[in-house]
Each structure stands twice: as C-alpha cells, then as structure tokens.
Amino acid sequence: MQKLTVLGCGALWALAAAMPVQANEQGLTYGVRPFYLMDKMDDGALKDKLMSCRGQAPERTLFSIGHRGAPLFFPEHTVESNVAAAHMGAGILECDVTFTKDKELVCRHAQNDLATTTNILVSDLSETCVTPFAAASGDEKAKAECRTSEITLEQYKSLTPKMDSSDATATTAEEFQGGVASFRSTEYAQQPAQIMTHAESIKLFRDLGAKFTPELKNASVEMPFDGFTQEMYAQKLVDEYKAAGVPASDVWAQSFDLSDIQYWIANEPEFGAQAVYLDDRYEASDEDEGLLDPMDPATFKPTMQELADMGVNYIAPPLWMMLTVKDGKMVASPYADAANEAGLKLIAWSLERSGPLNNGGGWYFQSVNDVVDTDGDYFTLLDALHTEAKVAGVFSDWPATVTYYANCMGL
C-alpha cells in the first residue's frame, strides 16, 4: 500500500531547484514562466510595471491559489503537485474532496475520475469500475468510468496517480492512459506521484505554510450513500479541520451546491463565513426563456443580494464571467459589478488552464476572446480581474504567474 510521506526540507528544495529563477530564502521561486509570459506581452504600462519587478524576491500571497496544486506539469491532487504550487508562492491550496466506499474523504477532482487520473484500469482494481474499459470502435470513442465510491480507502491508496488524460482512440487500457494535452507536460510525472487523503492534505498544506480551500464535490452515487447523507458529508469535511486544530479563518470551503454553503452557514458559522459558492448558474435554464443570459445578473436566481442576505460572503464563477470587452479593453462585466455592489468577494477560476492563447483562449476566455492573441494576455486578463472585477483571489494551474503579479502589485 502506498503511504503518504510529507516531504522534508531536502525534497522540497530539490523540487524548488527544478525552477531556479528568483528563489528567496524560504525556497519560493517564480521559475521562468512569468518572464516568458511578459516577453509575449504587448508594449505598454502593464508590461513596463511587471518588468520593473524582475528583481523582486517571491513572497507567499493569498491572492495566488493552487488549482489542484500545479497540474500544468504535475499530476493533480498529489503531494508533488501541491509542493510545487507552494514553492511558487500559492498562499492557498486546494483539495477537491470526495469519498470512498468506506466513507473516507480523499482528494480527487471528481468521484468518478479514477480512469483518467490514476492507473486503476491497468491495476487489479479495474474490476471495480462501474464502466469497464471499452475500446474505440468506428465512431465510438474509448471510454471507462471508475469511482472512489467503489473502492475502500486502503485500495484507493494503492493507486498511482497520473496526469489527467485519456486517449479516445485507444484500443487497450494501456493506450487509454495517454492523451495528455499538448500544452501540459509529463516531465515531472515520470516517477510515481503520491496520492492523498483529505486529512493528509491538511497536514501537508500546513507544513508547507499554506491555507486551505477544500471543495465538497457532488457525489456520482445517489445520496444518502449507505446511510451517509449530504449533511454528514459536509460536516465530515469541516470535522477533519477541527480535528487537526486548523482555525476556521484559514479555511475557504467550496461547493457548487448552494445547500452545502447554507448548511455550513447554519451549522458551522465560523466556517460558513468563508464558505465559497462556486457559481455555475450560467448553465441554468428557464423553462420559458431557455438558457439564462450569463452576462445579465438580473436573470440569475437567487440574485446577488439574496445570496448576501443568506450569509454568503464569497462567490467564485469561471473567470470569463467577470469580464467583458469595451472599446477594445477588458473591463468588469455586469456580473462582477452586481457581485461587488452586493458586497460579495469574488474568486476566479482557473488561470493557465487554456493552453496557448494565440487562438483566443477558448472556454475560459470566451467573453474576451476577441482581444486575446498571445500568451502575454494571461497577465492582461489577470490585471483586469484585479483592477476591474476586484477579485480577492485567482485559482491557477501554475501559481507562479499569479504570485508574480500579486507581489509586483503589492497585493
């Protein structure tokens, strides 16, 4: 059984050495990527400001949030991914929380993602998959679905994590392990990474000097699950922080399910005060009017003010929701204006998940695609999120970019 070993100083410095640019005495480093992005920026005041900070030593900042660690180069939700994120100055780290067959909490982006994020299909546990591997055939893509709820904690910890990927053309389970996006790298995934439970993530993040943003994931199984209710699930997440002696002020618990946020507000008010409502209402539809207008907050129910009146203090939409284009520049969207007017703190997700931006940036940049044409626009968008939308923090798949910006701007 694979056991988590919280990396000591020697191993942490070894990882930092892989990113040797601008390291400070705590081993924090920007690496080369922020400087690469600056080189791609259009000339102007923002580029001049960022370039003026090239000699600064990196400092940890709560504005920089590790999205599943640093999955641009490391298998997500692993020790290695989060160590890398912490050494890039991420002040908050994320464990997406789901549960196993024996109702133990573990770090996975989804309860049913084991086929794409671990080696389960080529292990003895493949027989537990709810949808066994099916080879690509004709127009049918290869597929499989494997859930943490079908295996015990001990079995879960025997798995080896990998870069989140699958090969839709695969004819064997071994081939299905491939398919890593071209803009990601397996350079740091050649050696087995260390999978984590939620409790182990708490210890690791604290040892790394970071704070916590666990996300309570929607279950793939029907709830209650073997007597385990949604309320018990939400409470267990909080209880693991309390058992570890972590103050509520260090935790930003997240959920896409507003009822989870309401549960924490009512039953764990100290944790509820910083609970983050992950807003996917842009996907909602009205029976009479069809898809709600994602840029018109008046169509959203509940309204921003109603959320605030419930006791919600933090709201986190995808980053494109908070920006629009006016006179050729990125500016705050009506959504961002409405949230700020209601006193809601905004958190954005997720920077550096789009790959190269020479084609407009895709889904995460959809509201500003027309003014995005170079990788330097990662900084352009980040600046607009800060100065226009007034966000309190930004999730990133490579936190050094956000850390550099925040340090340079004195956030």
pLDDT at 301: 86
* pTM passes above 0.85: yes
pLDDT at 286: 55
Domain segments of the chain as ranges: 9-101+190-409, 111-176
Q: How confident is the model at residue 252 (pLDDT cuts 50, 70, 90)?
A: very high
Q: How confident is the model at residue 111 (pLDDT cuts 50, 70, 90)?
A: very high
pLDDT at 2: 37
Which positions ≥6 away from 58 have C-beta within 8 Å? 22, 23, 24, 28, 29, 30, 88, 89, 400, 403, 404, 407
Identity of the highest mean pLDDT range in 6-10, 242-246, 301-305: 242-246
Which positions ≥6 away from 137 have C-beta within 8 Å? none
Mean pLDDT rounded to a whole number for the chain = 92
pLDDT surpasses 60 at 21: no
Give the residue-averaged pLDDT of 103-129.
98
The CATH number, out of the four listed (3.20.20.190, 4.10.490.10, 3.30.70.1560, 3.40.50.300), of the domain defined by the range 9-101+190-409? 3.20.20.190
pLDDT at 285: 59
pLDDT surpasses 60 at 289: no
**Residue 14: what are its φ and ψ, rounded to 5°?**
-65, -40
DSSP 8-class letter at 398: S
Give the residue-averaged pLDDT of 314-334.
96
pLDDT at 287: 54
Residue 15 CA, distance from chain mean position: 21
pLDDT surpasses 60 at 18: no
Give the residue-averaged pLDDT of 31-57.
97
Contact 271, 306 (CB under 8 A): no
Give the residue-averaged pLDDT of 388-394.
98
Residue 346 CA, distance from chain mean position: 15
pLDDT (tens digit per residue) in 144-190: 999 999 999 999 999 999 999 999 999 999 999 999 999 999 888 88
The two beta strands, 254-255 and 393-396, are unpaired
pLDDT at 25: 58
pLDDT at 96: 98
Across 3-7, 182-186, 264-268, least confident range: 3-7
Give the residue-averaged pLDDT of 352-358.
95
pLDDT at 307: 97
Q: How confident is the model at residue 347 (pLDDT cuts 50, 70, 90)?
A: very high
pLDDT surpasses 70 at 294: no
How many angstroms separate the CA atoms of 392 and 106, rounded? 27
Q: What percent of the chain has pLDDT over 70?
A: 91
pLDDT at 402: 98
Q: How confident is the model at residue 357 (pLDDT cuts 50, 70, 90)?
A: very high
How many angstroms separate the CA atoms of 118 and 146, rounded? 10
pLDDT at 298: 81
DSSP per residue, 314-379? EEE-BGGGGEEEETTEEEE-HHHHHHHHTTPEEEEEEET-S---TT--GGGGTTTGGG--STTHHH
pLDDT surpasses 50 at 325: yes
pLDDT at 12: 36
Give the residue-averaged pLDDT of 239-248.
98
